A and B are shown apart, each in its own frame.
Chain A
Amino acid sequence: MQILIYGYGNPGRQDDGLGIALVDRLEEWASEKELVGFEFENNYQLNIEDSEAISNKDLVIFADASEEEIDDFCLSVVDGKGKLSFTTHSASPGYIVKLCKELFQKEPHVLLLHIKGYEWEFREGISDRAKENLDKAFVYMKKVLEHPEIALESKEELKTC
């Protein structure tokens, strides 16, 4: 099984770096545990070439900071209905999935991990409140990576939004 964990955001904008911070921690942990079959990726934002990057994966989990009204973190299934914005310099996970399906005829199972953030100024470092959410997400995601069927089969343990 090939699994991609992909964080995106700008770590120079405080909590916007939550997704990347999580993936960095997961990658380090997976390396120590010598887990195989995982690929970890980070970028400022998703873009069209990511449709190719996810095309040969069985499971993809995008991780992003969230301004939504959620407690700490949650997962949602990405259904491939995303649209591109006016200048198309960034793309939603749904758009990437849609593009992957149309261009490469592949439909990996894709989830988006939303991690609640609070502060978005020009500085590095996650806010204290967001760090708590990051810690919780990290603990939870370790379990998911050890048992990816939780995510693949959307089992009850999946903490959905």
Chain B
Amino acid sequence: MSQKITIEPVTRVEGHGKVTIHLDDNNNVTESRFHIVEFRGFERFVQGRPYWEAPVLVQRLCGICPVSHHLAAAKALDMLVGAGTGDGLTPTGEKMRRLMHFGQIFQSHALHFFHLVSPDLLFGIDADPAIRNVIGVVLEHKDLAVQGVMMRKFGQEIIRATAGKKIHGTGAIPGGINKHLSPEDKEAFLNGPDPLNIDQMLAWSQGVLDFFKDYYSKNKSFIDEFASFPSNHLSLVRKDGALDLYHGVLRAVDSEGNKILNDVDYQDYEQYIEEEVRSWSYMKFPYLKSLGKEKGWYRVGPLARLNTCEFIPSPLAQAEFEQYKALTNGKPNNSCLHFHYARLIELLHSAEMMKELLNDPDLMEGELVTKGSKAYKGIGLLEAPRGTLFHHYEINELDQITKANLIVSTTNNNEPMNQSVNSVAHSWMDGKLEITEPMMNAVEVAIRAYDPCLSCATHALGKMPLEVSLYDANNKLIDRKRS
């Protein structure tokens, strides 16, 4: 008798996701799907609003990564005010935005690793969930947990100092930024009492990377093989091939490293990327037009970024990048759990870049805004913590937004997350009649590697637990578990 397993989150507001896994008569997995019921109302909501409101309005999308939306919208609006496509801002404008962005990346990556991933690594994904949680980490590895909290706090403080405030920050404006970095903030970030200073953040970033590498050396097959499958990878890269999280050209490589999208201007993204609609999910499935729906899907995020870039422009992260690339002989890394390794290299890079920027005099003085001639279409991309984020706006003569299209990182990773769930389902659920907690956690481990923001993808906010349900061939519920 064939069956269906469903994993379904419960949310506070509209939008939710679920996983369904179909079993055949022998209880082997035949198909699995990661559905995200996306609410697309935001694009309609901004229509008719003055374009300059967009960087603040978009923060309504999500309380998790408002800075990423704020900056991507501001980059799109740079085009509308004729300030260029990321290269045209004043040094102060661009560097303040970059500092804000690195603060966001830093706090997001720290939160994800210390408080989401480390319980699985420290205790094992099949460990008793009563222990396998962040409180378990606190009890047995308190130093790690404290570091996670303080690194997150440091990143949040960087955001406050550059964006202005935590709620609906206004730092990035069309054509630039609205303030300099204050001398007091600069001094505190550079030389504040331990642990909240940049040197401590650098040391901890290196420390957590060493922790992961030690774990990897002892658990190589697990990290290499769990939910591993070949895929394409897409991200922005700097024009010279360097990792660049704020601005660059669009590059995609296949699973062997061949360029399949060769450093194109992201203002032309519609020429290269299409979004497929599937009947069973409101969230779209982006793909490269040149390869078609079946072969054109790609991963985004830390794993993809370290597969597309050629080097990292900061010395400590570059040294780690060289070790990391050696694992796959310079070829793209297609292992799902290497997202974590890549994320920690980016964490270190972010710390290095924050230190460099904090010492840059351009943040303390200089012109804030660039002005130019009005345009009617603006597209802003950046590498958000979870991957490439697209903001596209068009306006009319009255400066009202007439069109908005957002492709968030989690949407870009839609098909890869489905592939990952499918891989885990086959490995863990073939032949099983009952959902066990380790089985459910294995599915979550695979999804968690992408650090999905269902809040962004569904345009909901906050609660995102999973529910797993098992159905027989007649869609009769025979088991259900909630995380």
Knowing A52-B150, A103-B146, say if A44 contacts B111 (CB, 8 Å).
Answer: no
Knowing A16-B461, A67-B12, say if A88 contacts B116 (CB, 8 Å).
Answer: yes
Q: Which of B135, B451, B459, B464 contacts A102 (CB 8 A)?
A: B135
Is B291 located at the chain interface by the 8 A CB criterion?
no
Q: How far is the CA of A52 from the CA of B156 in the complex (A)?
A: 13
Q: How far is the CA of A153 from the CA of B135 in the complex (A)?
A: 28
Knowing A10-B60, A102-B135, A103-B142, say if A48 contacts B152 (CB, 8 Å).
Answer: yes
Q: Which of B66, B146, B452, B464 contacts A44 (CB 8 A)?
A: B66
Stretch at the interface among A27-35, A79-87, A139-147: A79-87
Beta-carbon contacts under 8 Å, A29-83 to B: 42-45, 47-49, 51-52, 67, 83
Is B1 located at the chain interface by the 8 A CB criterion?
no
Q: How far is the CA of A85 from the CA of B57 in the complex (A)?
A: 26
Is B462 located at the chain interface by the 8 A CB criterion?
yes
Asked whether A88 lies within 8 Å of B111 as measured between CB atoms, the reply is yes
Q: How far is the CA of A103 from the CA of B444 in the complex (A)?
A: 26
Is A13 located at the chain interface by the 8 A CB criterion?
yes
Is A99 located at the chain interface by the 8 A CB criterion?
yes
Asked whether B64 lies within 8 Å of A90 as measured between CB atoms, the reply is yes
Asked whether B461 lies within 8 Å of A49 as measured between CB atoms, the reply is no
List the A side residues contacting B463 at CB < 8 Å. 85, 90
Beta-carbon contacts under 8 Å, B63-108 to A: 63-64, 66
List the A side residues contacting B398 at CB < 8 Å. none
Is B28 located at the chain interface by the 8 A CB criterion?
no
Q: How far is the CA of A91 from the CA of B462 in the complex (A)?
A: 9
Asked whether A86 lies within 8 Å of B444 as measured between CB atoms, the reply is yes
Is A123 located at the chain interface by the 8 A CB criterion?
yes
Is B454 located at the chain interface by the 8 A CB criterion?
yes
Is B319 located at the chain interface by the 8 A CB criterion?
no
- Give the contact-size bracket for chain A: 20 to 34
List the A side residues contacting B232 at CB < 8 Å. none
Contact string against A for B residues 108-131, beta-carbon threshold 8 Å, 1 for contact and 0 otherwise: 000110011000000000000000
Beta-carbon contacts under 8 Å, B439-483 to A: 444, 448, 451-455, 459, 461-466, 483
Q: How far is the CA of A102 from the CA of B9 in the complex (A)?
A: 28
Q: How far is the CA of A102 from the CA of B148 in the complex (A)?
A: 14
CB distance from A53 to the nearest CB of B (A): 8
Q: How far is the CA of A102 from the CA of B133 in the complex (A)?
A: 13
Asked whether A102 lies within 8 Å of B138 as measured between CB atoms, the reply is yes
List the A side residues contacting B152 at CB < 8 Å. 47-49
Asked whether B133 lies within 8 Å of A84 as measured between CB atoms, the reply is yes
Asked whether B156 lies within 8 Å of A12 as measured between CB atoms, the reply is no
Asked whether A11 lies within 8 Å of B63 as measured between CB atoms, the reply is no
Q: How far is the CA of A123 from the CA of B156 in the complex (A)?
A: 25
Asked whether B149 lies within 8 Å of A103 as measured between CB atoms, the reply is yes
Jot down 26 A-B pairs with beta carbons below 8 A, ordered by A: A10-B60, A11-B167, A12-B60, A12-B168, A43-B167, A45-B64, A45-B461, A47-B111, A48-B115, A48-B148, A49-B152, A83-B133, A85-B463, A86-B464, A87-B116, A87-B451, A88-B111, A88-B115, A89-B453, A89-B462, A98-B135, A99-B149, A102-B138, A103-B149, A122-B45, A122-B459
Report, nearest first, the 10 A-B pairs whose CB atoms are least far apart.
Answer: A12-B60, A44-B63, A49-B153, A102-B138, A89-B64, A122-B45, A49-B152, A90-B462, A45-B63, A87-B464
Residue positions of A touching B, CB distance < 8 A: 10-13, 16, 20, 42-45, 47-49, 51-52, 67, 83-90, 98-99, 102-103, 120, 122-124
Q: Given A43-B63, A49-B150, 17 other A-B contacts at CB below 8 A? A: A11-B167, A12-B168, A16-B13, A16-B461, A44-B63, A44-B166, A45-B63, A48-B148, A84-B133, A87-B448, A88-B116, A88-B134, A89-B455, A90-B64, A99-B134, A102-B135, A103-B145
